[in-house]
Amino acid sequence: MKKFICLIITLFISVSFFSQNLKVSKNGRYFEKKGIPFLWIGDTGWELFHKLNREEATHYLETRAKQGFTVIQAVVLAENDGLRKPNSYGEVPFINLDPEKPNEKYFEHVDFIVNKANELGLVIGLLPTWGDKLYSMHPAAGPIVFNRKNAQIFGEYLGKRYEKKEIVWILGGDRNVDSFEVLEIWRAMAAGLKKGDKGKHLMSFHPRGESSSSYFLHNEDWLDFNIYQSGHARRYNPTYEWAMVDYLNHPVKPFVDGEPAYEYIPIRFWEYCDWTNPKRVPGYVLNDDNTIKDTAYFKDGFFNDYDVRIHAYWNFLAGAAGYTYGNNAVWQMFKKGGEIAIPCLSDWKDALNHKGASQLINLNKLFKIYSIANLLTDQSVIYGINPKGENHIRAAISTKNDWAFVYLSQGQKVNVVMSKIHDENVSAFWFNPRDGKKIFIGEFKNNKIEEFIPPTNGISNDWLLILESKKANFSI
């Protein structure tokens, strides 16, 4: 009898734990955790394990949790020469650069950070390696150390180590699949991860800029959801175009913009950086502490909080299950006077509270009221011509037809088909993405085309129009 009771308790604990991991919804459009819709609002903390000590990592994670982030994307074998340059405690990941000989001390530090993130309710989007540790058409610090055999062994090692943690696996690391041999190595690593964690965690792939994992891997049985990187090339980047491609793929899988334009990264930074120069730019461009002094050197300017909001709302209203924020100083955990990956305006601690990051809590608050599980991208809400570029309008409606969203990137006026709401009386509101406030506009009949003009317009004056069934009871 005692053995039977112990077995039941063990099964209960196992099932209870397993239910905490992210799942894909039955319709394949969003994520769930403990059976509840899960909103992926991520941050790219790529160098988290490599650059920060435990006190710093705790500060970072606590800040992001308070700001409403839900996922932290970080890399075990980091981009910035992460195999040879030690972490904050003088440890490197492998003994003699051998993936079959992990350094326990290094992974104890990774353990600490993963555990701390989970304690704070954060899921870790865990990249086993940056993509330069395999062959690619875009080589970097590397070195290349993986083959099919050791990739599977390393994957199984990680899978076993983090089997009971709240994570998702992300292969790739800013690289595409540039050969069949590389594909076989990623397949081997994926197989190792699944063997090690008994298939308990979702898995995806982080490609290069302006690419999606679906281009190479959509039909791989280990790929549970797609990630695209809309990238850092332009303002008003049409993130909805990548979303629309992945939305139409079959079989249906959720998708995430895993790397949109970073806040305060120079636009098209690669055109201004000399990768042979450790400081990347001429000396006069930087202050003595290696922060940017001459912003005019970067002639295209810098992305800011406005760009963050546009790309976030365009993504979600185009059907994305998630959006990952990024900040130029934070991803590389840049410290004043320290090494530079891409020149920064501030250090990582100051950058944590830049406006774009702080304003994402408003997006999180919005979707706690209007569940992402009910969101259906639907451009037919908009009446008339809808251009691309800065004046593009994005719309979505609930699957129950009791609310609709219309995002206006420049506060432009819009004509709306009111009958999309299945109630003869419709309440209209403005939602301010900058401060999260909801402003009542009025009540309307649903039997005509209605024009709406936001309170303000122009650059940085984006607004979200919310239409609700009068019978519904939504409140922010």
Given a cut of 50, is residue 13 above it in pLDDT?
no
Is 23 among the domain residues? no
Reduced to 3 DSSP states, what percent helix, strand and coil does the chain have, rounded to the nearest 5?
35, 20, 45
Is 65 among the domain residues? yes
Q: What is the pLDDT of residue 473?
A: 74
The stretches of 97-247 forming alpha helices (DSSP H) are: 104-119, 148-161, 180-197, 214-217, 239-247
Q: Provide the pLDDT confidence category of residue 476 given band limits of 50, 70 and 90.
A: low
Given a cut of 50, is residue 18 above it in pLDDT?
no
Give helix 305-317 / helix 355-369 axis angle, nearest 10°.
Answer: 30
Q: What is the pLDDT of residue 181?
A: 97
Task: Look at residues 315, 339, 369 and tell me which one is the last residue of a structural domain.
Answer: 369
Given a cut of 50, is residue 71 above it in pLDDT?
yes
Number of domains composing the chain: 2
Mean pLDDT along residues 352-369: 96
Q: How long is the chain?
A: 476
Is 5 among the domain residues? no
Is 210 among the domain residues? yes
124/45 Cα distance (integer angstroms): 10
Do 181 and 201 share a domain, yes or no? Answer: yes
Q: What is the pLDDT of residue 10?
A: 47
Q: What is the pLDDT of residue 396?
A: 98
Given a cut of 60, is residue 1 above it in pLDDT?
no
The CATH number covering residue 438 comes to 2.60.40.1180
Given a cut of 60, is residue 12 above it in pLDDT?
no
What is the tens place of the pLDDT at every residue in 75-85? 999 999 999 99
What percent of the chain is predicted at pLDDT more than 70?
Answer: 96
Do 49 and 176 share a domain, yes or no? Answer: yes
Given a cut of 50, is residue 8 above it in pLDDT?
no
Do 410 and 324 share a domain, yes or no? Answer: no
Do 365 and 392 share a domain, yes or no? Answer: no
Is 22 among the domain residues? no
Q: What is the pLDDT of residue 474?
A: 78
Question: What six digits make up the tokens of 99?
Answer: 């993936």
Q: How many CA atoms lie within 13 A of 28 on its CB side?
A: 12
What percent of the chain is predicted at pLDDT more than 90?
Answer: 94
Is 402 among the domain residues? yes
> How many helices (H) and strands (E) are present in the chain, helices listed first?
12, 20
- Domain of 428? 378-469
Task: Look at residues 336, 369, 402 and tell me which one is the last residue of a structural domain.
Answer: 369
Place of tokens 């991803």: 331
What is the tens place of the pLDDT at every residue in 364-387? 999 999 999 999 999 999 999 999
407/466 Cα distance (integer angstroms): 9
Q: What is the pLDDT of residue 471?
A: 84
Do 163 and 244 share a domain, yes or no? Answer: yes
What is the tens place of the pLDDT at every residue in 81-126? 999 999 999 999 999 999 999 999 999 999 999 999 999 999 999 9
Q: What is the pLDDT of residue 97?
A: 98
Is 454 among the domain residues? yes
Is 21 among the domain residues? no
344/346 Cα distance (integer angstroms): 6
47/407 Cα distance (integer angstroms): 33
What is the tens place of the pLDDT at every residue in 120-156? 999 999 999 999 999 999 999 999 999 999 999 999 9
Residues 382 and 395: beta-carbon distance below 8 Å: yes
Mean pLDDT along residues 249-261: 98
Do 141 and 82 share a domain, yes or no? Answer: yes
Mean pLDDT along residues 151-167: 98
Given a cut of 60, is residue 16 above it in pLDDT?
no
Average pLDDT, the chain: 95
The CATH number covering residue 290 comes to 3.20.20.80
Do 464 and 364 share a domain, yes or no? Answer: no
Residue 428 β-bridge partners:
442, 467
Do 399 and 347 share a domain, yes or no? Answer: no
Given a cut of 50, is residue 211 above it in pLDDT?
yes
Task: Look at residues 346, 369, 392 and tell me which one is the last residue of a structural domain.
Answer: 369
Do 313 and 213 share a domain, yes or no? Answer: yes
What is the tens place of the pLDDT at every residue in 179-208? 999 999 999 999 999 999 999 999 999 999
Do 363 and 259 share a domain, yes or no? Answer: yes
Q: What is the pLDDT of residue 20?
A: 73
Given a cut of 50, is residue 279 above it in pLDDT?
yes
Question: What six digits make up the tokens of 72?
Answer: 């932290």
Helix (H, G, I), strand (E, B) or coil at 107: helix
Beta strand pairing status for 375-377 and 322-325? unpaired
Given a cut of 90, is residue 4 above it in pLDDT?
no
Higher pLDDT, 4 or 27: 27
Do 324 and 425 share a domain, yes or no? Answer: no
Given a cut of 90, is residue 463 above it in pLDDT?
yes
Do 257 and 404 share a domain, yes or no? Answer: no
The radius of gyration computed from the CA coordinates of the chain, to the nearest angstrom, equals 23
